[in-house]
Amino acid sequence: MLQDTFEFSSSFAGPRLAVTILMHGDEACGLAVLDTVRAENFALSSGSLVVLVLNRRAHEAPEGPVRHLGTDMNRIWSHAGLGERTEEARRVASTLPCLKDADAILDIHSMPSQDTPFLFVSETHPRSADLAEKLGAAVPRVVTAPPPQQRGMALFETELLSKETPIVVECGQHQSAQAPDVARATFLRFLSVHGMIETGGDAETASSETVRFYEMCREIKLDQGPLTLALPMRGFDRLDRGETYGWDGPRPLIAEEDCHVLLTRPAVNPGDEALTLVRLTRTRHV
């Protein structure tokens, strides 16, 4: 068994699911899932589950939790990335066999500043959108991303996996009190929609939700830097076409269409990823 690989199974046939946590060492909310599966009353009614702690060394770094140890683990899920001679590339390679056995993968993350949870799926895995809709009772926002063009491949969009259904949940801000609760609720919903735990209680959301679906429309990288925002942004902040929402150094950043700010990052230098903008495409009541 791989270090930091936790296996659970039922005596009844069912799906094989995988959950990944601590892809980045400063995103600790996924540890709530580990607490849940280690509880005495946790049991699967069917199928099997593997929980993978991907980057514990970054989480337990001497200076405190850090995002990574020199290589962003969530940018190397490709053949080229696996060829890197780094500890994090070796860890990705060692976990691939576990993930290739899975029918669906839930990848749990949090964010530096935004505190509005959402689900993230990729056009490269179209079945993930169907799963996201089912998880919408726990996290009622779904963002679809196109294949990456100017960055490395993430787990949820990797071509190293084919039949699997990968999906990301961004649970909120790193230190948010709600982030572990979102991680746990999404995990239980993930098991529930696959028929692997008894429904009811925390596994299901009693009230119905309107799930909002978005698509990415623009990634903003700095030409000069630093990034200065026109106002505090907590996630899915609405922008009207023509609105100035920040500055790249002295250059104003102006919305080219009605959209929403999905993510902001602490960007400082030219080339830094600064913001991700999305547009609303549809809503659905679940």
Answer yes or no: do 82 and 196 share one domain: yes
Of the residues 158, 181, 207, the one at which a domain ends: 207
pLDDT at 204: 46
pLDDT at 1: 39
Answer yes or no: do 242 and 194 share one domain: no
Which CATH number goes with the domain that contains 279? 2.40.50.100
The range of the structural domain enclosing residue 227 comes to 216-285
Answer yes or no: do 121 and 30 share one domain: yes
φ/ψ (deg, to 5) at 170: -95, 115
Of residues 111, 105, 138, the one with CA closest to residue 211? 138
Of residues 246, 248, 251, the one with CA closest to residue 222? 248
Answer yes or no: do 236 and 276 share one domain: yes
Answer yes or no: do 84 and 151 share one domain: yes
pLDDT digits (tens, 9 = 90+) for 262-274: 988 889 999 998 9
CA dist 233 to 18, 30, 229, 267, Å? Answer: 32, 24, 8, 14
Given a cut of 70, the residues of the chain with pLDDT beneath it are: 1-3, 199-208
Q: List the beta bridge partners of residue 211.
A: 284
Answer yes or no: do 142 and 228 share one domain: no
Answer yes or no: do 199 and 263 share one domain: no
Which CATH number goes with the domain that contains 137? 3.40.630.10
pLDDT at 3: 67
Answer yes or no: do 127 and 45 share one domain: yes
Radius of gyration of the chain (CA): 19
Answer yes or no: do 227 and 133 share one domain: no
Domain count, the chain: 2
pLDDT at 201: 45
Answer yes or no: do 122 and 260 share one domain: no
Of the residues 156, 183, 207, the one at which a domain ends: 207
Answer yes or no: do 239 and 274 share one domain: yes
pLDDT at 2: 55
Of the residues 207, 240, 273, the one at which a domain ends: 207
Report how far residue 281's alpha carbon sits from residue 43's, in angstroms, rounded to the nearest whole number.
38
Answer yes or no: do 104 and 130 share one domain: yes
pTM: 0.91
pLDDT at 205: 44
